[in-house]
Structure 1
Amino acid sequence: MSSLRAKIQDVFNEPACEQNRGKDAKARKEGCSKPLTPGAAAGGCAFDGAKIVLQPITDVAHLIHAPLACEGNSWDNRGAASSGPTLWRTSFTTDLTELDVVMGQGERKLFKAIREIKEAYGPPAIFVYPTCVTALIGDDIEAVCRRAAEKFGLPVVPVNAPGFVGSKNLGNKLAGEALLDHVIGTVEPDDAGPYDINILGEFNLSGEFWLVKPLLDRLGIRVRACIPGDARYFDIACAHRARAAMMVCSTALINLARKMEQRWDIPFFEGSFYGITDTSEALRQISQLLVKKGADPEILGRTEALIAEEEAIAWKKLAAYRPRLEGKRVLLNTGGVKSWSVVHALMEIGIEIVGTSVKKSTVEDKERIKQILKDDNHIFEQMAPRELYAMLSEHKADIMLSGGRTQFIALKAKTPWLDINQERQHPYAGYDGMVELVRQIDLAIHNPIWRQVREPAPWDCQPAVREELPSTKSETATLHVVQEFAGTTAGDFGGC
């Protein structure tokens, strides 16, 4: 536990973060994460954050050393996609019971589970995750993992990020530390080249990275490791031989990028593949870093030629949507890198941003938003569901882009909604992804269902009572009224 405490303090003291460098020593030790409320997950615990970062490594067996609910509640929590192995889709857990805890059988059960996975699946590595229960009872998973690795002849990696140590974001960083301590640099590739790069913090949601990788392939740039999206264990183990790196989500793996730069001299920059301008700028910066590390400068010219070609194609496709979407108002309720990258992407085609959430954004993310929007009034830290509903029901936005948890607020306000978080079904990265994003927004806003649901329901409208109806309450008059009502049409209802 003392080693875990030291690791957490090291993660909090992040010199690559501009905001952290400006703090005094005491504030730096407290980190950037808000304290957790007892009994609350704060959007996800540290264990959940570690699983998010490591589970997309597709050929690895991910073993949760905990009671069954810990794995059941965290499994498949991201829409990451794989182009090959499916082992990561298999759920492994030691399924500790109360009797196991009382009798001290946890470590023995863990060792047995590792052996069974090795014999049944033969993975290149096994990642072992403790949770609150097994950390509190003192199971030494690092010792078990070392013994199992020696016994079975394969890497068994302890991911020491039990839920109670902090937030999901802290778990992201602890997962990066596990890769640094046990995986990266353990294998020497025999094909290292001057055009090898790493992509960090890219999760390949809905196969997004597959829209970007062909662009890099055309430039002769090889992605040595994409961490963690569609990753393989061997690729990550060889990631220390890349020449440059791009950081897609700095809040998750900034510590990984910085320490790889310190240990193996791999320079990195933070960029985005959302939007035409940001995608082009990311390609330029990758090429420039490679040239600084010794690549042939001719790649800069080829990069500009590729950018010009792809931008022309994308703008031509987007031209058809501009008249339909220009001036439309969008409310963004997301965070992190999307809080500024998607804003920039949408503004490129004339869409107006009426608000964007920065709840999960870094200080650097917020500064980018201010530079793009030129107005702090459209930036909010967080908005209560009641306020979101009021804004949408008053028609201050034509569509809301958010995650699945807030979709029902938009639907209740009879406002179009589009999912841009990890549960989404469509990829939005790169030039083709930008066209797809705009197409989905157009489909959502102009769907005829919204005109229909906004009309008053027939039972909310008063029938036009005809003058010839008798005013008495006799049985005959009642029957007459029913007959007249049954014979009316939609046009006979006032206000409908």
Structure 2
Amino acid sequence: MSSLRAKIQDVFNEPACEQNRRKDAKARKEGCSKPLTPGAAAGGCAFDGAKIVLQPITDVAHLIHGPLACEGNSWDNRGAASSGPTLWRTSFTTDLTELDVVLGQGERKLFKAIREIKEAYGPPAIFVYPTCVTALIGDDIEAVCKRAAEKFGLPVVPVNAPGFFGSKNLGNKLAGEALLERVIGTVEPDDAGPHDINILGEFNLAGEFWLVKPLLDRLGIRVRACIPGDAHYLDIACAHRARAAMMVCSTALINLARKMEQRWDIPFFEGSFYGITDTSEALRQISQLLVKKGADPEILGRTEASIAEEEAIAWKKLAAYRPRLEGKRVLLNTGGVKSWSVVHALMEIGIEIVGTSVKKSTVEDKERIKQILKDDNHMFEQMAPRELYAMLSEHKADIMLSGGRTQFIALKAKTPWLDINQERQHPYAGYDGMVELVRQIDLAIHNPIWRQVREPAPWDCQPAVREELPRMKSEIATLHVVQEFAGTTADDFGER
């Protein structure tokens, strides 16, 4: 328990985090997130955060050791996409009951579940996630996983992040620690090259990384491991032989990037594949890091040539949308890397940003927003639903970009809405992704349905109709009675 406490404290004290470095020693121990209220961690606990980070590893069996409700529905719970295996979408749980807890059957049931998964599916590895119940009753997950790995001859990885440990973000980082300690570096590749990179914190939502990977392939840059989006266990086990890394979502796996740099000398930078300018800059920085690690400098020239070609194509496609969208006002209710990367991307084509949330954004994210928007008046930490509705109903924004949780606020305010969070159906990364994002915004704003729903109802604009409503209702009721008894015989009528 003391070693576990030390690990959590180490995650809180993240030296690669600019925000953490600015705190005093006491504040640093409290971590980045607000303390959780007991019983109020559903959907945002450490277990949830760990599962989010690791579940997109596609060929691994993810086994939840706890009550059935902790697993939920994994088949479509996130928009991450796979180019191959679908095992990651199958739910595996020990389905612990009250009787199992009373009789102390938890560890035995876990071992049996691991054996059944091995025999039925034969995965390259099994990840085991303890939950609040199994952690509280003291099941020794690590001992069971170690014994199962020896017995069945495959890696069984304990991901020690039960829900009561803390926030979702803490779970993200603990998942990174599990990969670092038990997966990365366990296999030596026989094809390591000077142009191998890792992409960290990329989830391949709606398959959007597939719009970026061809750009890297064209430059001769190989993605050794994309963690976790569309990843395979073997790819991650060999990730320590990459020459450079790009961090996409720093709040999730910054600890993993820093420790991989310390252990295996893999330099990293934080970038974004949202927007034309940011995509080009990310490609440049990847090439520059590879050259510093010994790659042929000619890759820099090839990168610039490819960027010029791709940008020209993208700007030509976007030119058709600029007259229709220039000056349109967008409200962003999201967070993290999207709070600044999407802002930058939209402003490139003349769209005005009237507000962007910074709920899950780091200090670096907020600084980028200030640089892009030139002030911080358009940044808000959290906006209550009532305030969001008031802003939209007063037509201060032409469209809201957010996740599914706030879509009904926009719809109630009769304002166009577009999903840009994890449930989205369209990929927005890279040059083609930027064109797709603008196309979807254009379709949403200019959909004729909005003009229709904003028009007054007939009974609100025609007093005569409103006055006639009682008489019309009475006539309709009489008509229903007549229709009910029409065609009946006298005997039928008597029975009625």
Q: Which category of TM-score, normalised to the shorter sequence, fits these structures? A: over 0.9
Measured at CA, do residues 178 and 469 of structure 1 come closer, stay the same or move farther in structure 2, by a change above 3 Å?
closer
Measured at CA, do residues 495 and 436 of structure 1 come closer, stay the same or move farther in structure 2, by a change above 3 Å?
farther
Query: Does the 8 A contact of 1:340 with 1:365 survive in 2?
Result: yes
Structure-1 separation of matches of 2:426 and 2:299: 31
Query: Does the 8 A contact of 2:61 with 2:125 survive in 1?
Result: yes
Query: Does the 8 A contact of 1:321 with 1:439 survive in 2?
Result: yes
Query: Does the 8 A contact of 1:63 with 1:91 survive in 2?
Result: yes
Displacement of 1:490 after TM fit? 43
- The structure 1 segments of at least 4 consecutive aligned residues displaced by more than 6 Å after TM superposition are 465-496
Query: Does the 8 A contact of 1:224 with 1:238 survive in 2?
Result: yes
Query: Does the 8 A contact of 1:356 with 1:378 survive in 2?
Result: yes
Structure-1 separation of matches of 2:243 and 2:495: 68
Structure-1 separation of matches of 2:413 and 2:82: 37
Measured at CA, do residues 188 and 493 of structure 1 come closer, stay the same or move farther in structure 2, by a change above 3 Å?
farther
Structure-1 separation of matches of 2:351 and 2:363: 25
Query: Does the 8 A contact of 2:74 with 2:91 survive in 1?
Result: no
Match of 2:289 in 1: 289
Measured at CA, do residues 478 and 251 of structure 1 come closer, stay the same or move farther in structure 2, by a change above 3 Å?
closer
Displacement of 1:136 after TM fit? 0.4
Structure-2 separation of matches of 1:473 and 1:13: 69
SS in 2 for 1:246: strand
Structure-2 separation of matches of 1:11 and 1:368: 24
Measured at CA, do residues 225 and 484 of structure 1 come closer, stay the same or move farther in structure 2, by a change above 3 Å?
closer
Measured at CA, do residues 344 and 142 of structure 1 come closer, stay the same or move farther in structure 2, by a change above 3 Å?
same
Displacement of 1:480 after TM fit? 20
Gaps of 5+ in 1: none
Describe how 1:483-494 pairs up with structure 2 within 5 A: none
Displacement of 1:28 after TM fit? 1.1
Deviations 1:359-394 (A, max 9, x none): 000011000000000121100000000000000000
Percentage of identical aligned residues? 96
Displacement of 1:41 after TM fit? 1.9
Q: TM-score, normalised by structure 2?
A: 0.94
Deviations 1:196-251 (A, max 9, x none): 00000000000010000000000000000000000000000000000000000000
Structure-1 separation of matches of 2:226 and 2:493: 61
Paired residue total? 496
Q: TM-score, normalised by structure 1?
A: 0.94
Query: Does the 8 A contact of 1:46 with 1:169 survive in 2?
Result: yes
Query: Does the 8 A contact of 2:74 with 2:90 survive in 1?
Result: no
Structure-2 separation of matches of 1:195 and 1:448: 49
Displacement of 1:29 after TM fit? 1.1
Query: Does the 8 A contact of 1:469 with 1:480 survive in 2?
Result: no
Structure-2 separation of matches of 1:236 and 1:472: 70
Displacement of 1:3 after TM fit? 2.6
Measured at CA, do residues 81 and 488 of structure 1 come closer, stay the same or move farther in structure 2, by a change above 3 Å?
farther
Measured at CA, do residues 75 and 143 of structure 1 come closer, stay the same or move farther in structure 2, by a change above 3 Å?
farther
Does 39-48 or 317-326 show the bigger shift?
39-48
Deviations 1:25-72 (A, max 9, x none): 211111111111122127510000000000000000000000100001
Deviations 1:138-185 (A, max 9, x none): 000000000000000000000000000000000000000000010000
Displacement of 1:483 after TM fit? 20
Describe how 1:13-162 pairs up with structure 2 within 5 A: 13-41=13-41, 44-72=44-72, 76-162=76-162
Describe how 1:163-312 pairs up with structure 2 within 5 A: 163-312=163-312
Match of 1:402 in 2: 402
Displacement of 1:317 after TM fit? 0.1
Measured at CA, do residues 495 and 260 of structure 1 come closer, stay the same or move farther in structure 2, by a change above 3 Å?
farther
Query: Does the 8 A contact of 1:463 with 1:492 survive in 2?
Result: no
Measured at CA, do residues 468 and 426 of structure 1 come closer, stay the same or move farther in structure 2, by a change above 3 Å?
closer
Structure-2 separation of matches of 1:490 and 1:134: 72
Measured at CA, do residues 405 and 469 of structure 1 come closer, stay the same or move farther in structure 2, by a change above 3 Å?
closer
Query: Does the 8 A contact of 2:46 with 2:165 survive in 1?
Result: yes
Query: Does the 8 A contact of 1:224 with 1:235 survive in 2?
Result: yes
Query: Does the 8 A contact of 1:325 with 1:442 survive in 2?
Result: yes
Structure-2 separation of matches of 1:204 and 1:397: 29
Structure-2 separation of matches of 1:351 and 1:491: 73
Displacement of 1:90 after TM fit? 0.8
Query: Does the 8 A contact of 1:462 with 1:494 survive in 2?
Result: no
Query: Does the 8 A contact of 2:357 with 2:381 survive in 1?
Result: yes
CA RMSD of aligned residues (A): 6.4
Displacement of 1:311 after TM fit? 0.1
Displacement of 1:477 after TM fit? 19
Structure-2 separation of matches of 1:15 and 1:457: 59
Does 462-471 or 197-206 show the bigger shift?
462-471
SS in 2 for 1:272: coil
Gaps of 5+ in 2: none
Deviations 1:386-408 (A, max 9, x none): 00000000000000000000000
Query: Does the 8 A contact of 1:197 with 1:222 survive in 2?
Result: yes
Measured at CA, do residues 495 and 422 of structure 1 come closer, stay the same or move farther in structure 2, by a change above 3 Å?
farther
